[in-house]
Chains A and B, each alone.
Chain A
Amino acid sequence: MSVRYEPGETLVHRLDPRGKLAVQIAVALAALAHTTPRGLVGVTLLTAGILAVSRTAPAAALAEFKLVLPFLVGGPLIEGVTLGPVGFSVTQAIPPALAAYRTVLLLLVAAVYVRTTPVRESRAAIQRTVPGKPGQLLGLGVGFVFRFLPVLRRDIRRLRDGSAARLGTERPVRERMRLLAIGGLNRAFRRAETLELAVQARCLAWNPTLPRLRFARRDAPALALAAGLLVVAVV
């Protein structure tokens, strides 16, 4: 995990999370609508600008997505192979290659959001954007997931280490998955019971106190950018 929230003083750090989410969605829509060489040159320049303003190193951000890379590189390669006379057709490989490149750009833009926005602010953004109780549940749930992911990851790592120390890696894959599933679920449910009791004792309410979010003048360019990109996506 190379991309996570890092406190900082850049302009992007100080923007309202809702504005940043709007920009992300608008960039994605614009890129999806214009996956042409010309369109992608534009999105590349925009992405480079966003990376520069937020002082994010693209290489570190991309390293995180290594599990998606086989799909990105493999897709165009598989597509280009022709079977009539065996060979490689560049024309066939171009559309999936453009799509793969677009995915890389969108992953970079998303990495900037992740790096500059604490999850607490994202939670507040969710609860202030999605109306009513669904929004509250979504915000609360995301908070719980954020809090318990590292704990459960540690549980799972312990299970795997313990199993490996006893030559568990020699077992068939199915058996290893079964042991991991049972161990992981038992620990998750035990933690759920404790957490349930704890939040009930603290009187979990539908209307909690959230960090204040307010659009300021510095958010105007971000919102204008999002609106502009939406227009580009539609036209």
Chain B
Amino acid sequence: MSAETQQVELIGDEVVGNLVRAALLAALTGAFAYVTFPNPASPTSVTLQVLGVFMAGLLLGPVWGGVSMTLYLAAGAVGVPVFAGGSAGFGELVGTTAGFLWSYPIAAVGIGAIAYGGFGIDADLDAPVWRLVAALTAGTAVIYALGAVGLIVIGKLSVKAAIVGGTLTFLPAEAVKAAVAVGVVRADELSAT
């Protein structure tokens, strides 16, 4: 008989805190995916997922915001129902709307990098409104550019159909979400961040 011993290597407090926040924001993005509002510009409905991407970039910064959205995709791929309308599975990551999903980590990193002015981990978010708006505009551009590329390459839609049907009809709703995100960050209405 032999006893097995192994050294336990603890995870540092800072990493634990950041990982937990990243995971909770990923879960919140998943919970937002169940919330649908009617889209005035299209027969499809809009979910609040993208608001989760915005908040991950703005509140967690470029590094952990990116981690958060990577967790979101990984959780969805192995079957946690976090994608639009509570769907899940690897199929979504190679399906017609896959471009949107793959863009989330990139958009969160971009939003964080612009809002925090770099890739520092410990910075506080004290950016002026114009920089927040610039960050979210860039993030939205990344999400819809990659989303349209997905519709064209994977969904075999023409450029025109992808841009009109898959992008332009959603932009008004995204503008509202971006305004909400800026308002939430600026208004100090969050009790703990």
Contact = CB atoms under 8 A, between A and B. Distances in A.
Interface string B30-60: 1110111100000111011001000100010
A177 B177 contact: yes
A215 to B, nearest CB: 18
A4 B91 CA distance: 15
A141 B48 contact: no
B74 A142 contact: yes
Contacts of B3: none
A34 to B, nearest CB: 14
A128 B144 CA distance: 34
Given A117-B79, A178-B180, A188 B28 contact: yes
Nearest to A176: B37
B125 interface: no
A160 B17 CA distance: 29
Interface centre among A108, A109, A142, A190 (most CB of B within 10 A): A142
Given A1-B81, A199-B16, A204-B16, A184 B90 contact: no
A141 B71 contact: yes
A98 B15 CA distance: 45
B16 A200 contact: yes
Interface stretch (A7-15, A65-73, A222-230): A65-73
B161 A79 contact: yes
Counting contact residues on chain A (CB < 8 A from B), the size range is: 35 or more
A152 B26 CA distance: 11
Nearest to A178: B180
A35 B8 CA distance: 49
Contacts of B6: 207
Nearest to B36: A67
A99 B98 CA distance: 12
Contacts of A186: 190-192
Contacts of B191: 186, 189-190
Contact of B183 (A72, A178, A203): A178
Nearest to B8: A205
B112 to A, nearest CB: 16
Interface in A55-74: 64-68, 70-72, 74
Contacts of A25: 90
Closest 4 CB pairs of A and B: A110-B89, A110-B91, A144-B23, A122-B78
Interface of B: 6-11, 13, 15-17, 19-28, 30-32, 34-37, 43-45, 47-48, 51, 55, 59, 67, 70-72, 74-75, 78-82, 84-92, 94-97, 151, 154-158, 161, 164-166, 176-177, 179-181, 183-184, 189-193
12 contacts: A1-B81, A3-B88, A4-B81, A74-B43, A106-B95, A138-B71, A144-B27, A151-B27, A177-B51, A181-B180, A184-B28, A185-B190
